[in-house]
Structure formats: C-alpha cells, structure tokens
Amino acid sequence: MAQARPLGVSVRAWQPPRRIDAIDFWLRSGLLASAHALREALRPSARRWHGDAHALADAPVLAQYRTPLWSDGRADEFPLVAGKVQNLRVARRAFDAIEVPAGELLSFWRQLGRPSASRGFVQGRELRGGCVVPTLAGGLCQLSNALATVAARAGLELVERHGHTARIEQAADAAGDAVDATVFWNYVDLKLRAKHAWRLEVELTSDELVLRIRARSPLAMPAVPMALRRAGEEGASTAPPLPLPLARGCLSCDQTACFRHRSLPAVAQQGRTTVLRDAWTPEFARYLGEHHAGADRMQPVPLRLAFWRTGPATGWQREAVADGAASIQLPWWASLRRTVWQRLWARHAGRRQGSLIDGQRWLALAFAARLKPEHTQLVIDQALLPHLQQLGALDGRRITVLASALPMAEIERRLDAAARRWPDDATLRDFRADAALVQAEAAALARAAMVVTPHAEIAAHLAAMAPRAASLRLDWVLPAARGVDAIDPAGAAPPLIVFAASALARKGARELAASLQDWPCRLRVLGSPSDDAQLWRGIGSVEHMHWRGDGLNGARVVVLPAHIEHAPRALLRALAAGLPVVASSACGLAGLPGVREVTAGDVEGLRAALKNACDADDDNKNDESAS
C-alpha cells in the first residue's frame, strides 16, 4: 500500500525522485564542496584536535546525552541501520577524548575528515529529498545531533548548525531539549565554541550512543531548548513547530520503479553472531557447539612449524564445521606471523609473554578487518578482548566473553605480591603488560553481557568486576582415563610427589620447595627445570620430565600450588586417573571431587595438605590389602 503524503508536504515534494534532480543535486553539492574546500585551504576556520590530552580527564561532567543505536528506522531496513552503527564506530575515534582550548572552534568535518571506504565507512542511510537513501558514511547525523544537544546542555555556543527536512520512521522519542543538526560533506557543518577549555567523550555501548562534555568551568551560558522550524514557519513564533515529515525508505518504499530503489538484502533483523577464537579448549568447544552452532567463526590457522613430526590430530584439526554454520574464516598471514614470532621468543623469559600478546594483537587486527556491519553479537576469546577494544570493534555490539584467564591487572597484582615474598626470584617480575592494554581489557570486560568460563577463580573474580554481566560456569572436561603404574606399597619407598608444571615461581615452585624440606620424599617435575640450581636443595630425589612420557606413573599425590594457573590440564589428567590432587584456588578446580585446595603462598597449609593426602592414600591402600 502506498504511503500517505504527510501534512505540510507539497504534492511535488512527495513525488518519486527523478534522475535529473539527482544530477542537479550532485552538481550543486560538488560546486559548494569545492568552494568551501578552497576557502578553508586559504583561511582555515578551525583546526583538528587530537585525542592524546588528559588534562580534563577527571574534570566534572557538565552534560551528557544518550541516544539509541538500533531502535530507529523501519524493521525491514536493518542493513542501513547496521551500516549507520558501523559508521559511528569509525567516527567515534576522531571525536573521543579530544580537548578543545578556550575560545577555539570545533568543526565536525575538520575533526572527522573526509569519509571514505578506505577508512572503514560503509553504506548507511542518509536523508535526501524526503527519502532515506543508501549512501557511503550515512548515519553520521546521529552523531552530529547528539553533539549539538550535549553542547547546548553544557552551555556551549553553536556557531553553525543546520536542520533536517524530514525524520526517520519509528525513531525513538527525542528528549525535549534535543537539537537537530544535520551535516553533509563538507559545507553543511556543525561548529561549536566555548569560553573555557572542554573535553568531549564519545562512547558506543551495545545499544546506545553516549556523549559527555567535561570542563572545570561552570556553564558558560544557560542551556536553552532549541526547536527546528522549516521555511515558512518563522512567523508562527508562539505556536509549537510542526513535526518534520516522515521520510520514505529506499529499501521499503512501494515506488519500485524509482532509480534509487534497492532490494532487501538477506540479513536477519537481529543481525548475526560471530565467534572470534584464539585457542582451542574442550570446554569452550562444547559450549559453542551447544549454544552457537550456526554462528560465523574466525580462528587462527593450526600451523605446525615442525611439519615433519607426525602425531594425532588435536584441537582445531579435530573440530568439524557444524551443520548450518558459515564457513570458518582463517587469517593465514596473521597466523603464520604469530607462529613464527612466538617460536622465536619461546625460550626467552619475559619476552615470551610479550610475543604472545603481539600474536594476539595481529590476530585481532585480522579479525576486526573481517567483521561486517551485520555482526551485532560477538563471542570473543578473552585474549583478543583488549586489542578489539582498542580498535573500536566492540562498539555497538553485544559481547560474550570466553574467559580463559584472570584480568591482566589481577595477574600483575598477584605476581607483585609473590615477588615481595620471594624478592630474589626475577621470574616474578620479568614481564608487565602495557598500561593502556590493561585499561582496555578492564573497559572491555565491564561492557560484557555474558562471561563464560570453567575456571572457578576466574568466574568469581569477573563476577565482582562485571556485576551486570551474566555468568555461566562450565564443567571441566576430564580426559579419557588412562591407567598408571601401581604405587609402591606403603613404607617401601619415600612417597613420590608430582609437581604438575615447570619449575617456575608463579606456579608455586618456591612454596613447594619450602614445604618439602625435612620430609623424606621424591619429587618429579613434569615440565622443565628452574634456572636456579639451588631451588630443590634439601630434597633427596628430583626428576624432570620435560613434558615427555607419562609423569603420573607411581605418583602418590599431584600438586600445583600456583599463584597463576589458567589451564590445569595436568591436574585434570591426574583426577581422571584417580590420583589425589593438592592445588591452590588459583587453579580453578573448586568443587571437583579429589581436589584439596590450599591458599597460594601458604607453605604450612601446603605441607599439611600434602601429608594428609599421602596419609589418606596409605589408608586406602591398607584397606584394599586387608579386603
């Protein structure tokens, strides 16, 4: 059914657009843009401000304005709404955290620059001639409207402002003091000025565009509500302005013969979900298969530099694409670069962790470049989270975090505490992440809608850090049970204690060495030895497995008193084999049968737990012999 002509709109203005009118508009706008560019080149009216100043970062908030991202426009024009949000993601980086000195001018177009596809702008929506038409960088007017409104609330001077000639269907009701301000490259501009220095902050949550203005000065002038009046209404100053006419949409308009008409793309109203993964774990693989089987996926290529070595397929190689899922996107170059870089620094303490972060950043860059505007929900591996936050890829999207580690700030806090206890161990201080990356991770976790993890310690910490996020605790996946060699009869030989890690201080090696002093026992280290040759002094027999063979054979108890442990796979193998486990709460195994938990750093508590585990095992063996 044809759309009815709104009141106050002439019959000629409501007719379908003509090509000759579009050509005329293109010529006139080109001339005006060229003339404006020439004037600005000869005598610039404003300069571009950079977002690297922090003088007003803690200043009071003078004004704030929120506007919805997804609830305006017709439901069947979702592709244009998604394009609008993508353009706001790109534009936000130009306006966020800028500080404008007193008396200086902020120009919308000088600050943003020319929008182009090479900068990441896509087809959005633009109001032109009473129609919502698809156009590159369309939708930026939502940012200019919000900027004009928050500026008016903060008492800034609107030096230049232009209004729209139509409105979007189903747009959310604007606040009573909302200011209408349209922009069109480069001569239809929005310019602001204040008598004091001020700071602009722009944020995209999952469903809102939020603008804030900070300053240390009070309002420069009272905020006066502004209402747009169309031509011919100036005389009716006492009457409220007539509402703007409703714009027709090119994707939903009944005028299919119009040269601007476009067919609807096959995109669901709620958009699509995509999964961004950094590593494979059985817990997350099972969760994704049950909850996001049909989602798009991006993951690294499983490369093995030592390709001549044969072995069973593990991890990514075993995982098939679920029915109904899109094909998995594999960034080959980023994966190869990461693999080579991490292998290069694998044996360099301190620099190894930095190489892991470098690889995660390259992978996040590759994933962000492959995200599409219709990807409105992201399921993200936590390792990629801070890099995607810095890139702005999380803006305007609902985030589910596959939490595989404690936040970097908490890791560093725990390592600092351990370093104060063991000041001579340099491995506890060999690496610290960049402060900006730590802050980006905290900001990304705070915006998460859901946190998914099997790790009890991570779940508890993130529940306090992101209280608004839903939390889902997964069950650990125990490997297939494998038989281990029988334990020597009680009293025949000193008990064998298996340390389920390499001999690193962050894994609790210092506490274990202290707890085993003056105790007749044997020690087996599953990983590599420590650089400190005196670490295990006082312990009679110490064996290092270098992660080869089955180090659980003959074990009386498996121990890991780690300060940091995110993937306790060796402990899970021990539990599957029926061996008793003593582990710190940092291992995240709370609630699993067979686990005795101790506090990280508690030497006496660790010693008592080990003795109790060995005594209980001796009792069990004696009962079995008697029976």
In 317-449 the beta strands, taken as DSSP E runs, fall at 375-381, 398-402
Amino acid 232: pLDDT: 41
Contact at 8 Å (CB) between 171 and 249? no
Which pLDDT score is estimated for 406? 93
Determine the Cα–Cα distance for residues 424 and 321; give it in Å rounded to an integer: 50
Mean pLDDT over each residue of the chain, to the nearest integer: 82
| 421 CB burial (10 A radius; 0-12, 13-18, 19+) | middle
150: nearest Cα among 181, 125, 124, 118:
181
| Predicted confidence (pLDDT) at residue 563 exceeds the cutoff of 50 | yes
CB atoms within 10 A of CB 560: 26
Instruction: Read off the pLDDT of each residue in 337-356 and give the average, rounded to a whole number.
Output: 84
CA 245 to chain centre: 39
**pLDDT range class, residue 491, cuts 50, 70, 90:** low
- Mean pLDDT across 168-197: 79
> Angle, nearest 10°, between helix axes 351-370 and 332-344?
180
DSSP letter string, 30-47: HHHHHHHHHHHHHS-S--
What is the percentage of the chain residues whose pLDDT exceeds 70? 78
pLDDT of residue 457 exceeding 90, the answer is yes
Query: For the chain, what percent of residues have pLDDT higher than 90?
Result: 47
Q: Tokens 């501009």 label which residue?
A: 189
Residue range 101-112: mean pLDDT, rounded: 93
Q: Are 597 and 583 in contact (CB under 8 A)?
A: yes
Q: Return the pLDDT at 301.
A: 87
What pLDDT digit, counting tens, does each position of 409-448 carry? 999 999 999 999 999 888 888 788 889 999 999 999 999 9
pLDDT score, position 511: 93
Q: What is the pLDDT, as a whole number, of residue 75?
A: 67
* Segment among 8-22, 124-138, 335-349, 609-623 with least mean pLDDT: 8-22
175 pLDDT more than 90: no
Residue 190 parent element (H or E): none
| 516 three-class SS | coil
- Distance (Å, rounded) from C-alpha 110 to C-alpha 93? 14
- The residue assigned the tokens 């903060």 is 154
Give the model confidence (pLDDT) of 574-624 as tens digits. Answer: 999 999 999 999 999 998 999 999 999 999 999 999 988 887 655 555 444
What pLDDT, on the 0 to 100 scale, is given for residue 477? Answer: 93
Which pLDDT band, with edges at 50, 70 and 90, does 248 fall under? Answer: low
Average pLDDT over residues 482-505: 75
243: pLDDT strictly greater than 70: no
Q: Which single residue is written with the structure tokens 């994704």?
A: 288
Which two structure tokens, joined as six digits, stand for 149?
């409104």
- Cβ-count burial 432-468 (b if 16+ within 10 Å, e if not): ebeeebbebbbebbebbbbbbbbbbbbbbbbeebbee
Res. 397 pLDDT band, cuts 50 70 90: very high
Q: DSSP secondary-structure letter at 335?
A: H
Q: Give, in order, the Cα–Cα distances in Å from 496 to each of 133, 484, 489, 490.
A: 74, 13, 12, 11
d(CA 549, CA 545): 7
Torsion of CA 90, 92, 93, 98, to 10 degrees: 160
Q: In the prediction, which pLDDT does 220 show?
A: 47
- Which pLDDT score, from 0 to 100, does residue 153 have? 92
Q: CA–CA separation, 520 vs 497, rounded Å?
A: 11
Of the pLDDT bands very low, low, confident and very high (cuts 50, 70, 90), residue 255 is low
Please, which pLDDT band fits residue 93 given cuts at 50, 70 and 90?
A: very high
Indicate the SS3 state at residue 483.
coil
Reading the block at residue 601, the tokens are 């750093």
Three-state SS at 61: strand
pLDDT band with cut points at 50, 70 and 90 for residue 240: low
- Write down the pLDDT at residue 47: 87
What is the pLDDT, as a whole number, of residue 484? 61
71 alpha carbon, distance to own chain's centre: 23
On whether the CB atoms of residues 190 and 181 are closer than 8 A, the answer is yes
Task: Tell the residue number behind the tokens 């944020």, with chain if given.
Answer: 203
Which of 166 and 514 is assigned the larger pLDDT?
Answer: 514
196 closest CA partner among 173, 212, 220, 176: 220
Output the pLDDT for position 624.
Answer: 46
Q: Which residue type, as a one-letter code, is found at position 287?
A: Y
Which structure tokens are listed for 205? 């949550």
In this prediction, residues 243-271 reach a mean pLDDT of 60
Distance of CA 243 to the CA centre of its chain: 40
The helix or strand, by DSSP H or E, that contains position 124, with its residue range, turns out to be: strand 123-128
Which stretches of 166-293 are DSSP H helices? Answer: 282-291
235 has a pLDDT exceeding 60: no
User: What pLDDT band is residue 346 in, cutting at 50, 70 and 90?
Assistant: confident
> In angstroms, what CA-CA distances link 309 with 280, 313, 317, 397, 419?
21, 12, 15, 42, 39
CA distance 253 to 247: 10
List all residues 6 or more positions away from 276 whose beta carbon is below 8 Å from its beta carbon: 298, 299, 364, 367, 378, 379, 380, 381, 384, 388
Residue with tokens 């089987």: 293
Q: What is the mean pLDDT of residues 89-95?
A: 94
Tell me what pLDDT residue 284 has: 94
